[in-house]
Amino acid sequence: MDNEVKLHGFWPSPFVYRVIWALKLKGIEYDYIEEDLANKSELLLRYNPVYEKVPVLVHAGKPISESLVILEYIEEVWPHNPLLPKDPYERSVARFWINFATDKGRSAVRSLFWGGGDGKKEAAEQMFDLLKIIEEQALGDKKFFGGNSINMVDLIFAWFACWIQPMEQLVGIKVLEPSRLPSLHAWVKNFKEEPIIKENLPDPERLLAYYTRLTSNLVSKPT
């Protein structure tokens, strides 16, 4: 039991994937437990009583919840193949962009994909403005947000690499257009081609089917 690592997850979740990628990039062995969110396990409810959500990382029997908290924990316990810069100022910049993606990204996604019909075009433009800031100020002319290699910021922005496409198809609006966001578009390609990432990506068709089901089942916004 001593140093066993377990991850409770749900296959379509980008939050779970962040943790999977972090563990794999650092070569950490772990057991994966797929949770049915419509029928959560006793273990999950015990490990995350506050939110009852995935991902939950369990290390040596002790649970950690919230993907960003988990990533910082992984980084501290297994510092090899670092996912954050060593310099405190550079770390604060990385955390700033992680917070930006989480904070602004979440509300932008909500407006665009769960909002009413007429507001969608406006929401798409707002999402574009956000992505433009990310492209110009966070990415710049780097290959990855982490520079020459992937770091935690890339893992957080990965939502735009894989999860935006099924959403774009559902809504019928292309947000991540190559001509309007060339560097970000190139980043998506580079990110998905990185060996460890490539081997650990959700199936796009399965993802589309999942989100199609989700949106058709909804009468109002999800909680």
Partner 1 sequence: MEETGGVKLLGFWVSPFAQRVKWALKLKGIQYEYTEEDIYNKSPLVSKLNPVYGKVPVLVHNGKPISESIIILEYIDEVWKQAPLLPQDPYERAQARFWAKFAEEKVRQSVWEAVCSSGEEKQKAVKSAVEAFEEFEKELKRRGTKFFGGETIGFVDIVAGCISYQLAVHEEVGSIKILDSSKFPAISEWIKNFLNHPLINEGLPQKDQMFAYFSKRSKEIASRKMSHKTA
Q: Cβ neighbours of residue 142 under 8 Å, at least 6 residues apart?
A: 148
| Interaction of residue 18 with partner 1, rule CB under 8 A | no
CA 23-136-166 angle, to 5 degrees, is: 55
Contact 2, 53 (CB under 8 A): no
State the nearest-atom distance from the C-beta of 77 to partner 1, in Å.
Answer: 5
CB atoms within 10 A of CB 4: 12
Burial class of residue 126, CB neighbours in 10 A (0-12, 13-18, 19+): middle
Residue 59 engages partner 1 in binding (rule: CB under 8 A): yes
Binding mask 96-115 for partner 1 (x = CB under 8 A): x--xx---------------
Three-point CA angle 79, 21, 1, nearest 5° = 65
88 is a contact residue toward partner 1 (CB under 8 A) = yes
Instruction: Examine residue 52 and tell whether it contacts partner 1 (CB under 8 A).
Output: no
Q: How far is the CB of 141 from partner 1 (least distance, A)?
A: 18
Among 3, 41, 107, 137, binds partner 1 (CB under 8 A): 137
For partner 1, the closer of residues 108 and 162 by Cβ is: 108
What residue type is 125 in one-letter code? E
CB of 221 to partner 1, least distance (A): 14
Options 45, 133, 209, 218; binder of partner 1; rule CB under 8 A: 133
Sign of CA dihedral 4, 28, 83, 35: negative
- Pick the piece of the chain touching partner 1 (CB under 8 A) from 9-17, 28-36, 71-79, 185-193: 71-79
Q: Which two tokens stand for residue 194?
A: 């990185």
Kindly state whether residue 44 participates in binding partner 1, applying the rule CB under 8 A: no
Cβ nearer to partner 1, comparing 69 with 209: 69
Q: At closest approach, how far in Å is the CB of 96 from partner 1?
A: 6
Which position has the token pair 């796009």?
204
Output DSSP code: residue 48.
Answer: -
Stretch of 30-38, 91-99, 172-180, 210-218 contacting partner 1, by CB under 8 A? 91-99
| Member of 91, 120, 174, 180 binding partner 1 (CB under 8 A) | 91
Q: Which of residues 140-179 bind partner 1 (CB under 8 A)?
A: none
3-state secondary structure of 72: helix
